[in-house]
Amino acid sequence: MAAGGVSHLWREWGIQSLVLLSFALQVLLLVFGGMRRCGLSTSLRVALWLAYLSADSTAIYTLGHLSITSGGSREHQLAAFWAPFLLLHLGGPYNVTAYALEDNRLWLRHLQTLVVQVLGAAYVLYKYMADSGTLLQLASISMFVAGIVKYGERTWALKRANDNKSSSGKAVGPYELLRQDMGDDEILLRAHSQFAICKSGFDDTKVVMRPKPPDEDSPRLFPFYDEDIFKLVEMELSLMYDTLYTKAAVIHTWYGFCIHSISLVGTSAALCLFRLRLSRGDHAYKRVDVAISYILLAGALVLEVISACRAVLSSWTCCFVLRKAEDYSGSTRAAWLEWLHYYVLSSLRKPLKPANRRLWRGTIGQYNMLHLCTRDRTGLGSKLAAKIGQEDWWNKLHFSGTFCGSDSLSMQQLKGLLFKMIRQDGFAKLVGPLSTMTTRGSFILEQKQAFKGVAKWTVLNIELDESIVIWHIATDLFIWESKAGHEVELIEVTRVLSNYMMFLLVAKPAMLPGRERRTVHLTPSRILETIWRVHILGDEDKSVRASPGSWNKCCVLKELFHHEGPNGSTITQAQREKLAETLFANWSYEGAQQLDSYPEVLEGSRDELYTCASNLAKQLLHLGRPDTLELIFSVWVEMMLYAADHCPRDSHARELSNGGEFITILWLLVQHWTYVYKNKIAC
């Protein structure tokens, strides 16, 4: 009986439920799709991923179901009218075309699906709408045309994103400098005008910049004002996200305008025709089916209006209007276009503050090996992960954190210190004349005569991931053991960069050049953990004893979903300091200051990376110089520059769908710096 009841319920309400579900998924994608450029929480990201996958499969299944079951009776004839709406849903909202970069490469598969689904919808309309009346037939045709163009728009957007290439050798406008008094909206328009630089970095093509004419006001211009240049780069990456993951590449063209017009007119006409059909009264449609039809029609019209308003008020449109005004410079048309921008578009955009939504999320991932090794292993999550053999995965998820600023170091200060370091003479020689980075620490070590004795093999003769592990541990040891009066900002920024590079190695190895070796840090980590448990705690089983309240039901969910990052309480910092003292005192070679060649201990084994790190820390401390921490900071900056430039471009593009990584921002900033040198613009 139960099975029969479910079967009857599905026959009566299955199609209605599926159509409403398809529409609800479109609304969900529209609301949350645009938030991806600034990053989403894990739960929202999973929900959006499920909605993206379910939207297409639900629409395709429903369309197939309609071809079999609709039109059985006159009262259910409206179900066939819903087929064109499913094509509209397959077209998707304007702010989501691809969830991942790989979706763009599958545009041919979407084209094949387009052909099949259009034929399926045409079959449904032909078979079940023949005797539905002229008005309903015209409404169906209007929605069918709108659905085709919207689905075609999505497929074309995927193709454009996959084929998105800058025109190599094409001359573009001269590099325009920033002014200190520029507002966010002005910086956004400048990001549009210099977007070719960003695109050329992602597809490895070259852009020929036209020389800048002499300007009497040029001395007042300051091209790399700290905060503004980072805003410019962040906005360019946001525009790149639009190009790769939304319909921006199609919407803001003349044929995109035609598609919008056809879809808007077709949906409006369908709503009017459907209303006229019902006003006659000679029908036997069920009330529920009529209500669903109105929901689909009104919903489609609202979504189209929202899409059209966002397209008209977008910065892409503003930039297009200003570019046309420049083309018609001095004419009446130019004056009219400038009036349209400054008095109409700008006034409508001002309360929305669109530039703020294009800025980076402002968080940097953090992962610290000493913090991991001194963790509490009595927690429920750690125990469950150990039981099922997923301890490494749990450690990466639970003990990773983020840095978004602290009392001693804000994100603006971090960016300023980084930018100040890059603008120094040594780095200027490195990133200015050259278009690529070829060193990852050795350049800075060679530039500073006082540090000639430092072991260059740690950044020269081994893999980058091994260098990161060694310098990460050595940085922590040096900071904890150094008695010099370093500036608090310098200590904090050095630690943040060290933890960030370790985070990339552990959580996002695709963002680093070379082979993805996901286990290079595991052996040193386990050795350090054994040292902590056995030699410092004094009892190997002490850390696995059940702690009071560890199974408290009220704390279970909080513990499972809480991220215990390295920027935690003073208790964990005191434990890391204790471990650092032990490592430095007992696990370092004698005469480490003479260690300047590839050690035999690393030949064929990675078990002693932590020992090499202790040796490096002792060697740096032995120098006794007050600027040693600045050297360590410089090495981390050079490592980041090297990793950013040699990271696969697809990895940079792929991370844009998750909010973007700070290393991508740094990479694009260096791209701008390179163009400044190439165009001989004095900073």
pLDDT digits (tens, 9 = 90+) for 191-233: 888 888 888 888 877 766 665 555 544 433 345 556 788 999 9
Confidence of residue 51 (pLDDT cuts 50, 70, 90): very high
Q: Which one is predicted more confidently, 475 or 214? A: 475
- Is the CB of residue 296 less than 8 Å from the CB of residue 85? yes
Q: How far apart are CA 470 and CA 611, in angstroms?
A: 9
Residue showing tokens 């360590």: 632
132 with 227, same domain? yes
Q: How many domains does the chain have?
A: 2
In a domain, 234, yes or no: yes
Is the per-residue pLDDT at 90 higher than 50?
A: yes
What predicted TM-score, i.e. pTM, was given to this entire model? 0.87
One domain for residues 308 and 406:
no
Q: Is the per-residue pLDDT at 594 higher than 60?
A: no
In a shared domain, residues 460 and 442: yes
Both 389 and 407 in one domain: the answer is yes
CA distances from 122 to 84, 127, 128, 136, 660 (A): 8, 8, 10, 15, 42
Residues 436 and 296 in one domain: no
| C-alpha–C-alpha distance, residues 678 and 580, integer Å | 46
Considering the domain architecture, whether residues 411 and 281 belong to the same structural domain is answered as no
In a domain, 433, yes or no: yes
Shared domain for 289 and 261, answered yes or no, is yes
Residue 239 lies in a domain: yes
Alpha-carbon distance of 435 to 637, in angstroms, equals 17
d(CA 10, CA 16): 10
Enumerate the H helices of 378-520 as residue ranges: 380-387, 391-398, 411-422, 425-431, 442-447, 457-460, 464-481, 488-507
pLDDT above 50: residue 256: yes
Q: Give a yes or no: residue 522 inside a domain.
A: yes
Task: Examine the domain organization and report whether 401 and 279 are in the same domain.
Answer: no
Nearest-angstrom CA–CA distance, 347 and 331: 24
Same domain? For 555 and 573 the reply is yes
Q: In this structure, is residue 330 part of a structural domain?
A: no
58 and 136 belong to one structural domain = yes
401 and 262 within one domain: no
Mean pLDDT for all residues in the chain:
79
- Of the listed ranges 52-56, 519-523, 638-642, 660-664, the least confidently predicted one is 519-523
State the pLDDT at residue 427. Answer: 59
Same domain for 294 and 437: no
Q: What pLDDT score does 589 carry?
A: 43
Name the DSSP letter for residue 322: H
pLDDT at residue 89 in the model: 94
Domain boundaries, position 565: 372-647
